[in-house]
Amino acid sequence: MLPVQDKKAFKSLLGRSPVMEAVIRTAQIAAATDVHILIEGETGTGKELLAQEIQASSARANDAFIIVNCAALPVELVESLLFGHEPGAFTGAHERKEGYVQRAHQGTLFLDEIGELPLSIQAKLLRFIEHGESQRLGSAEVEYVDVRIIAATNRNLMSMVDSGHFRKDLFYRLNIVPIQLPPLRQRKRDIAELAEHFLQQAAARTQSKPPELTPEALEMLKKYNWPGNIRELRNVCEHVTAMLPGQSIKSEHLPLDMTAVTAKPGSGTGFELPQEGINMESLEIDLIQQALAYANGNKSEAARLLGLSRDAFLYRLKKHNL
Ligand SMILES: Nc1ncnc2c1ncn2[C@@H]1O[C@H](COP(=O)(O)OP(=O)(O)OP(=O)(O)O)[C@@H](O)[C@H]1O
Ligand SMILES: [Mg+2]
C-alpha cells in the first residue's frame, strides 16, 4: 500500500490506523484536484477538521473558506443567506447583500449538515454547481461565481435519496469524491495517540500538568464504543485533566457509561442493527477491505481478524471480485 504522500499535510488530523491512512490518501488526491467533495461520518468524527485540511492543501488555500451550517439556517432566510438578495426582496431587506456563495468566490464553501437543506434550495444549489450560476433573491441577473464545495453530513444521504428527502442529481453531483470518516470504534489503535494529545492540550490550556493514563484506563478507553467519537474522547480527556491534573488516571476515574458497551446477554456480538437497516453485501465487502488493510494485505491474518478460515476468506474474496 502506498504511504501517505506528504507527511506534513493533514497533520492536525492525528491517527494513522489503516482506515485513516486510506481516508487521508483519498483526501490528498481530492485536494489536489478541484472537484466537489462529500464527507460522510458520524458526529464528532472530524468532518470539519478534514474539510479545513483539504482546503489548506488545495490550490484555494489562500482564498476564502466559508463555513455554513445548513441545519442552523432559518428556513425563511436560507435562500437569501446562501445566494444573497436585492433591496426589497423581502420585508426588512433594505440593501443589496452578498450570500455565502458570493463570499466564497474563488475559495471553498463548506456546507455542513447538507442533508438539512430544504428541497427547493437543493434545486438552486444544483443549478449553481452545474453552471456556476447564482441569482440573488429578488434579482433577474445571473452572476457567475467560482466556488469549490465541500459538503458534510452525519446522515445517510443515499437513504435520504431513497426516501425522497434529498435530490438524487445533487447527491451524485457532490458524491464525485466521497470520503467516509470511520467512527472511532473502527480505529481503536488511534485512541492512545489521540488521548495523549487531548490530555496535553487540556493541560496546556489550564496551565497544569497532564495526567497519565494507566494501562488499565487505556484498555477501558479501547473497550468503550464512543458514540460521540473523537469529540467525546476530547471531552473525557478535558474532564480528567480538570479533575486530576498531573495524576495517574485509573479506569474508575473515567466518566464513561460502559453499560452502553457490554453486549447484552444472549445478543451474540453486541452489534445492533440500525433502524434503517444495512446492506449486508456492502458491509461484507467493507469488512473484508478493512481486515485486509489492518493485516497489510496478509490474507491469513485478514481471515483471522474476521474469524474465518483462510479458505472461507478466499471464497469471499472471489465472490466479491476483490
Ligand atoms: N483525527 C483527529 N485528530 C485530532 N483531533 C481531531 C481529529 N478528528 C477530530 N478531532 C477533533 O475532534 C473534535 C470534533 O471534530 P469535528 O468538529 O471536525 O467533527 P465533526 O465530524 O464535524 O462533528 P459534527 O458532526 O458533530 O459536526 C474537534 O475538536 C476536532 O479538532
Ligand atoms: Mg461538524
Confidence at 272, pLDDT banded by 50, 70, 90: low
pLDDT per position as a tens digit, 25-43: 999 999 999 999 999 999 9
The C-alpha cell that represents 34 in the structure block: 478541484
Does residue 263 carry a pLDDT above 60? no
Tell me the CA–centroid distance for residue 234 and ligand 1, in Å: 9
- Could you count the other beta carbons within 10 Å of the beta carbon of residue 202? 21
55 lines ligand 1 (CB under 6 A): no
Alpha helices in 244-279 (DSSP H): none
44 lines ligand 1 (CB under 6 A): yes
pLDDT average, residue stretch 158-181: 94
If you average pLDDT over every residue of the chain, what do you get? Answer: 90
16 lines ligand 1 (CB under 6 A): no
As a whole number of angstroms, the distance between CA 209 and CA 217 comes to: 18
Q: Tell me, what's the pLDDT at 312? A: 86
Q: Is 168 helix (H, G, I), strand (E, B) or coil?
A: helix
- Could you count the other beta carbons within 10 Å of the beta carbon of residue 129? 17
Does residue 192 carry a pLDDT above 70? yes
pLDDT per position as a tens digit, 51-97: 999 999 999 999 999 999 999 999 889 999 999 999 988 988 899 99
Percent of the chain at pLDDT above 90?
A: 73
As a whole number of angstroms, the distance between CA 27 and CA 32 comes to: 9
pLDDT average, residue stretch 277-298: 85
pTM: 0.81
50, 249, 9: which is closest to 152 by C-alpha? 50
Helix (H) or strand (E) holding 85: none
115 lines ligand 1 (CB under 6 A): no
Considering every ligand atom, which ligand is closest to the CA of 67? 2
Tell me the CA–centroid distance for residue 7 and ligand 2, in Å: 24
234 lines ligand 1 (CB under 6 A): yes
pLDDT average, residue stretch 127-153: 94
pLDDT per position as a tens digit, 204-252: 999 999 999 999 999 999 999 999 999 999 999 999 999 999 999 999 9
Q: Tell me, what's the pLDDT at 2? A: 40
Q: Is 321 helix (H, G, I), strand (E, B) or coil?
A: coil
**Which of 49, 112, 191, 194 to probe ligand 1 with, by most ligand atoms within 8 A of CB?**
49
49 lines ligand 1 (CB under 6 A): yes
Does residue 267 carry a pLDDT above 50? no
Cα atoms in the Cβ-side hemisphere of radius 13 Å centred on 122: 22
User: Are 142 and 96 contacting, i.e. CB atoms less than 8 angstroms apart?
Assistant: no
As a whole number of angstroms, the distance between CA 63 and CA 106 comes to: 6
Confidence at 107, pLDDT banded by 50, 70, 90: very high
Q: Tell me, what's the pLDDT at 264? A: 43
As a whole number of angstroms, the distance between CA 10 and CA 1 comes to: 19
Backbone angles phi, psi at 112, to 5 degrees: -80, 145
Does residue 265 carry a pLDDT above 70? no
Tell me the CA–centroid distance for residue 72 and ligand 2, in Å: 12
Confidence at 262, pLDDT banded by 50, 70, 90: very low
Cα atoms in the Cβ-side hemisphere of radius 13 Å centred on 126: 16
**Which of 13, 48, 237 to probe ligand 1 with, by most ligand atoms within 8 A of CB?**
48
Q: Tell me, what's the pLDDT at 47? A: 98
Backbone angles phi, psi at 8, to 5 degrees: -80, -30
Does residue 8 carry a pLDDT above 90? no
* Residues in contact with 113: Cβ distance below 8 Å, sequence separation at least 6, in sequence order: 69, 70, 71, 152, 153, 154
Q: Dihedral sign, CA of 152, 181, 22, 291?
A: negative
Q: What domains sit in the chain, N to C, each tagged with a CATH number?
A: 18-182 (3.40.50.300), 189-260 (1.10.8.60), 280-319 (1.10.10)
